[in-house]
Structure 1
Amino acid sequence: MQLDLNLLAALDALLEEGSVAGAADRLHVTAPAMSRSLGRIRRTTGDQILVRTGRTMTPTPYALAVREQVHDLLQQVRGVLAPSRALDLSTLERTFTLRWHDALVALSGPALLDAVRAQAPGARLRFIAESSIDTSELRRGEVDLAADADRPAAREIRAERVAETRHVVIVRQGHSLTTGETVTAAMYAAAEHLTVSRRGRLTNLLDDALARLDLTRRVVATVPTERAAFEFVRGSDLVVTAPESTARSAVSDLGLVLLPLPLDVPPAAVHLSWHQRYDTDPAHAWLRDLARNALAGAMARPVSTAGSAAKDRTEPSA
């Protein structure tokens, strides 16, 4: 049997998009051409691949079973037919898509962009927001590099822990927790809290730590970003807990105070993640190095506070 490798690309697009029109747009061909490709795939495999269910197309059990294999085979074919060449940064013309936590974009994005522009003027960075649901852009190749607190579970996703920082408590100046007394776990639990969660979660590891001490806290609201949380805190008696490195700017910009967290919790980690298809891509490896340095450097910067009193309160307890 003579095989047409173009059918492999068509099958991958059909399985990823779940529709003829979507696959046609992805491969920049007409819908009739993609329909013909689907017909050839059906004749070759002896399977319908996609069947109509109402107004949508549903993959068959066979299609679901081979989807990952088809995607990996296509990447291998592309790697063979388009092998990597020596990287010339001066002529590199490429747009990298980065899905980073919003606080990490603000904290490390400018340094990364400066490094990229200095070495590869033709390269561009495209930062996109995190989703409120789990997505698979890394697997589909729509995102080149992700950076956030979570370590991906999928085997084909590489992940590297590049930095970490302790959690701190953020309150407005004059808050009752800033009276000079050492903040205890009981005092912390008694305050009204705000959580930061792009998924809208009201509980997290802090509640587990409090439960181990037979304490509970009252969370009155949750917001999707730390910057939004800081705006809530600056005009109220609410308390928010966040990674120290990403909270630094709030101290100087908004006049907030950082306090040590009186709980034993693991530090907030930053993981850099990418799909294994990019392991040997020289341009991607170059970007990973710059991103690693930008993230680690930003997380390691010394604390900058609004005043010496606030600075003293951020020092670890003896």
Structure 2
Amino acid sequence: MVYPIVMEDIDLNLLVALDALLAEGSVTEAAKRLGLSPSAMSRTLSRLRAVTGDPLLVRAGRSLAPTRFAEALRDPVHAVTQDARAILRPAASEIDMATLETTFSMRVSEAFLEFLAAPLVSAMTDAAPHVRIRFVLKPDKEPHALREGLVDLEIGVLGVPAPELRTRLLLRDRLIGIAREDHPLLTGEAVTVERYAACSHVVASRNGEFAEAVDEALEKKNLKREIRVVVPGFPDAMRIAASTFFVAAVPASCLGKNGVNGPLAARGIRGFELPFETPEILVSAIWHPRADADPAHRWLRDIVARVCRAAYP
């Protein structure tokens, strides 16, 4: 005889626990994520094993590994729990940011951390003092972190095409040159493309590559520059330019509101307009559509946009 399943037979909390266990691969870490004790999470895992008829997580040395059945459950369980949270979350008018307790994870560049993280944290904590903020450095432009719900928001330049993702333009940027204030390039004569190319250069490249938009622009003029140093991020390039006679190309936003007209005396460097054109840099907020209607996420997007407008009007 087949007995019908009624709502009393279904404990949706088990789905939340299963999502945490499959994401963390650890009873202890899943317990921390849900604010439970390890023993309570262990009992929940036992219940899940009984309900599914599968061990789900098995010992592999000192860690736990998912079974094939658990691997197959990972994505659908995560999607269901995300949808459930979105459905059951209070409407915008019912959310009080002053009392909201949640964690926002944002994937950002090293340059964003250097120049915008502080004002963003200040603005967010002033309005929502109980909100926690997690910044994660972006090693690439792949969309998997947003698709898998590992981060709530990504800030940067669109990379790999992902048509389902939502975007909001934060600022239009451009590359400028920087060098220490006593650099020969900035004394006397105008900065020509020939004089610029003849300098020694430090390049910021996340992937450690030597070529970038500047080199493509120089190649069109049958010129080539000498790249002496490659660093992971623009702040690194600025530090090296400040202490050597290397020249760097960085987004104008790295120099703050005053751009090339504002010498960064504390760093001992000065910006200058590049003597050639490079593509415009469009910095956007990027998120997955599952969070589009979420009022707390909408607040996050709005405050990020407001901080960027204030920093770069």
Give the TM-score taking structure 2 as reference length. Answer: 0.76
2:75 to 59, 63, 68: 68
Q: Which residue of 1 aligns with 2:184?
A: 176
Asked if 1:238 is matched to 2:246, the reply is yes
- Superposition CA RMSD, Å: 3.5
Structure 1's 292 and 201: CA in aligned 2 closer, same or farther, altered over 3 A?
same
The Cα offsets for residues 65-94 of structure 1, whole Å up to 9 and x where unpaired, read as 332221110122233344335146574344
Q: Quote the offset at 1:106 in angstroms.
A: 5.0
Task: Report the more deviating stretch, 17-26 or 203-212.
Answer: 203-212
Q: Which residue of 2 aligns with 1:229?
A: 237
CA distance in 2, matches of 1:124, 1:187: 50
Alignment of 1:62-141 (within 5 A): 62-87=69-94, 89=96, 91-94=98-101, 96-105=104-113, 107-109=115-117, 112=120, 115-116=123-124, 120=127, 122=129, 124=131, 126=133, 128=135, 130-132=137-139, 138=146
* Equivalent position amino acid for 1:29 in 2: L
The Cα offsets for residues 173-220 of structure 1, whole Å up to 9 and x where unpaired, read as 242322423421x44333221122455444433334444555443322
Q: Which residue of 2 aligns with 1:258?
A: 271
Q: Which residue of 2 aligns with 1:267?
A: 280
* Equivalent position amino acid for 1:183 in 2: T
CA distance in 2, matches of 1:250, 1:97: 33
Q: Which residue of 2 aligns with 1:37?
A: 44
* Equivalent position amino acid for 2:70 in 1: A
SS in 2 for 1:251: coil
Q: Is the 8 A contact 1:100 1:130 kept in 2?
A: yes
Q: Quote the offset at 1:13 in angstroms.
A: 0.9
Q: Is the 8 A contact 1:87 1:282 kept in 2?
A: no
Q: Is the 8 A contact 1:100 1:127 kept in 2?
A: no
Q: Is the 8 A contact 1:151 1:271 kept in 2?
A: no
CA distance in 1, matches of 2:22, 2:124: 35
Q: Quote the offset at 1:169 in angstroms.
A: 0.9
* Equivalent position amino acid for 2:77 in 1: V
SS in 1 for 2:169: strand
Q: Which residue of 1 aligns with 2:156?
A: 148
Q: Which residue of 1 aligns with 2:26?
A: 19
CA distance in 1, matches of 2:67, 2:38: 21
The Cα offsets for residues 102-156 of structure 1, whole Å up to 9 and x where unpaired, read as 43355445654565566x3645563635254679665665644332334575566
CA distance in 1, matches of 2:97, 2:10: 40
Alignment of 1:295-314 (within 5 A): 295-300=308-313
Which structure 1 segments of 5+ residues have no match? 301-318
* Equivalent position amino acid for 1:282 in 2: P
The Cα offsets for residues 24-76 of structure 1, whole Å up to 9 and x where unpaired, read as 33223344443443344344444443343333333344433332221110122
CA distance in 2, matches of 1:273, 1:108: 17
Structure 1's 257 and 290: CA in aligned 2 closer, same or farther, altered over 3 A?
same
CA distance in 1, matches of 2:131, 2:36: 27
Structure 1's 131 and 22: CA in aligned 2 closer, same or farther, altered over 3 A?
same
Which structure 2 segments of 5+ residues have no match? none
Q: Which residue of 2 aligns with 1:278?
A: 291
The count of corresponding residues between Structure 1 and Structure 2 is 298
Q: Is the 8 A contact 2:107 2:151 kept in 1?
A: yes
1:52 to 54, 59, 81: 59
CA distance in 1, matches of 2:300, 2:217: 37
Task: Report the more deviating stretch, 84-93 or 224-233.
Answer: 84-93
Asked if 1:192 is matched to 2:177, the reply is no
Structure 1's 182 and 110: CA in aligned 2 closer, same or farther, altered over 3 A?
same
Q: Quote the offset at 1:274 in angstroms.
A: 3.2
SS in 1 for 2:266: helix
2:214 to 203, 206, 215: 206
CA distance in 1, matches of 2:162, 2:53: 31
* Equivalent position amino acid for 1:269 in 2: L
Q: Quote the offset at 1:234 in angstroms.
A: 2.3
Q: Is the 8 A contact 1:164 1:299 kept in 2?
A: no
Q: Is the 8 A contact 1:194 1:229 kept in 2?
A: yes
CA distance in 2, matches of 1:294, 1:138: 22
